[in-house]
Amino acid sequence: MNITSINLFPSFKIKNYSVFAPKNGILGAVILCITACSVHKNQVTEKQKPNIIFIMSDDHAYQAISAYDNKLMQTPNIDRIAHEGMIFTNASVTNSICSPSRAVILTGKHSHLNGKIDNLSKFDTSNVTFPQLLQKAGYQTAMFGKLHFGNNPKGFDEFMILPDQGDYYNPEFITKKGDTIITGYVTDITTDLTLNWLEKGRDKTKPFLLMYLHKAPHRPWLPKEKYYKEFTKKTFPLPETLFDDYSTRSSAAKSAEMNILKDMLLTYDNKLEGSILDSLGINERRLNTGLNRMTKAERQAWDAVYGPINEEFLKNYPKMSPKELTVWKYQRYMQDYLATIASVDENVGRLLDYLDDKKLSENTVVVYTSDQGFYLGEHGWFDKRFMYNESFRTPLLIKWPNKIAPGTTEDEMVQNLDFAQTFLEIAGVKAPNDMQGKSLVPLLLGKKEKWDRDAIYYHYYEYPAEHAVKRHYGIATKKYKLIHFYYDIDAWELYDREKDPNELHNVYDDPAYKDIAEMMKTKLQELRVKYKDSEILDNYYIQLYKKKKVTKTADHSLISE
Ligand code: SGN
Ligand code: CA
């Protein structure tokens, strides 16, 4: 890629917010006037259609949002959305992996119909997406941050997106005017771009759709100095299932390569470095993709904190038991993962404050979610992909002043599949008939009687691939979950979600659950028909995948042709 560093916003200084802090009198007066006029204009448009801000982070587990669970960290700003609006305790994804989740969100269609079944293929831009429809209906549209589609988004007046997974430090951005490197930390920069567009980029006479999409807390979890200094001092409670031996489940759980002890890399993930690693027999890939983007000063600050932690570890490593090593890796994982979320939370606060200050909050729907959940040591794992709770569920918080009653908890089963129709209904735009979700508006307005969903469908495809999670599809009701693993395995699992919330006991072969297993199988087949999925499509995608010649490279990433 040909990178040029271009000046996108000549008057906008990312670091010191010159645009918000006019120093000289005349300039200040002009800016104040512009601001006052635009506030006035906003008040006019606010009466018309609501603005929509869709905040999504990447791999943010609900276990790491204090509105859900405060045992790991505090996220006061994200929690504000729940306090002022609604928290969903049973929100899930249809396919727990990044770009497929994004494709489902934009199209309102399951992966098997929008075609983006895995992270490896490009998104088919002939799909109709809800931002295109909102744009046609007069919305200003913008996207900042991580998309991960392999191509640029359609239906956006403005976008600045990260190439592929993006980087934490001094990241590149793809823009309409070319590619550029922006100095700083990705979470702060994504917010700066967002605030700058809100302040200076949009047409203030129109309602807007803003997609504000964080890279964090995606692997390899490189926090900002302020937060790694704080979080590397912390110790976190161990999850109940950290030492799960997968004994009652099919071989899919055991053969997955996302175990903290066996598959989390001491180097890349836990940030160990130096020649001493060779002498200790640690031959894992070295952390370079992230650290080599740091400035000299950033790198020195990093080494000053991580150096002593690593020295201490390397002294103890030779005598550590597997259990001790698991716990050490878990703690280091949590320190870095959660520290990247602290930056997200701080920046969500900046955005919410901006909306309040500019009197935009009242007519703006703010959604906070993640592209999927994540394992924070549960079942001994990191990563996602499985239909088990921690990666199947995703955080979902929505505020919409004067519409959603503040502090509401909603336990209905909703999915990322529902966003497109929800946003279209909020904007008063008719959704295309082939969208497959359900608008959440009745739930947001407290009209639960209008909600009749009793089961949801899930389908994961990316296998064989990194983390080795087998292909599977399944159905969940509030009480049970049935999963079918296929491809090079044919295994069924059934969980009693009420009696076994940790999903440790597969009761598929338990005679006491025979009728329930049959009932769930019938329902699963009905959902496959309803959503137009089938064995023919499963085989079609397997053949397509084989043609892609997916291979693992030496540096652990995947290449497809
Ligand atoms: C990268 C990560 C994986 C992760 C995938 C998908 N490996 O390949 O751990 O599962 O992304 O994540 S890394 O070595 O490159 O960090 S997703 O959120 O984009 O689906
Ligand atoms: Ca993700």
Write down the CATH superfamily of domain 4-222+339-453: Alkaline Phosphatase, subunit A (3.40.720.10)
**Ligand 1 center to 358 CA (angstroms):** 37
pLDDT of res. 47: 57
Q: Is 146 in the pocket of ligand 1 (CB under 6 A)?
A: no
Q: Give the model confidence (pLDDT) of 251-276 as tens digits.
A: 999 999 999 999 999 999 999 987 88
Q: Which of 104, 105, 118, 218 to mutate to test the pocket of ligand 1 (most atoms within 8 A of CB)?
A: 218
- Of all protein residues, the one whose alpha carbon is nearest to atom 19 of ligand 1 is 98
| pLDDT-above-90 percentage for the chain | 83
State the Cα–Cα distance between residues 280 and 233, nearest whole angstrom.
26
**Quick one: CA dihedral 429, 431, 432, 433, positive or negative?**
negative
| pLDDT-above-70 percentage for the chain | 89
Which atom of ligand 1 is the closest one to the Cα of 98?
20
Q: Give the model confidence (pLDDT) of 188-209 as tens digits.
A: 999 999 999 999 999 999 999 9
Q: Helices 419-426 and 98-107 meet at what angle, rounded to 10?
A: 40
**Ligand 1 center to 219 CA (angstroms):** 6
Least confident of 229-233, 265-269, 429-433: 265-269
State the Cα–Cα distance between residues 150 and 559, nearest whole angstrom.
13
Q: What angle do CA 511, 512, 514 make, to 5 degrees?
A: 60
Overall average pLDDT of the 321-339 stretch: 98
Q: Is 556 in the pocket of ligand 1 (CB under 6 A)?
A: yes
Q: Which candidate, 15, 14, 61, places its Cα nearest to that of 344? A: 61
Q: Is 239 in the pocket of ligand 1 (CB under 6 A)?
A: no
386 exposure class (CB count in 10 Å sphere: 0-12, 13-18, 19+): buried
Which atom of ligand 1 is the closest one to the Cα of 467?
10
Cβ contacts of 167 within 8 Å, gap of 6 or more: 186, 215, 289, 290, 293
**Quick one: CA dihedral 133, 134, 139, 145, positive or negative?**
negative
Compute the 3-state secondary structure of the chain and give helix, strand, coil in percent, each to the nearest 5.
Answer: 40, 15, 45
Within 156-239, residue ranges assigned H as helices are 186-196, 225-231
β-pairing verdict for 408-410 and 178-181:
unpaired
Kindly report the average pLDDT of the chain as a whole number: 90
| pTM, entire model | 0.91
Q: Give the model confidence (pLDDT) of 361-384 as tens digits.
A: 999 999 999 999 999 999 999 999
Torsions phi, psi of 266, nearest 5?
-60, -30
**Ligand 1 center to 258 CA (angstroms):** 11
Cβ contacts of 156 within 8 Å, gap of 6 or more: 131, 135, 141, 142, 143
β-pairing verdict for 408-410 and 551-552:
unpaired
Q: Is the peptide bond before 220 cis (omega within 30 degrees of 0)?
A: yes
Domain boundaries of the chain, sorted by first residue: 4-222+339-453, 251-331
| pLDDT exceeds cutoff 90 at 288 | no
Q: Which candidate, 347, 389, 387, places its Cα nearest to that of 368? A: 347
Q: What angle do CA 370, 372, 375 make, to 5 degrees?
A: 115
In degrees to the nearest 10, what's the CA dihedral of 21, 357, 76, 85? -160
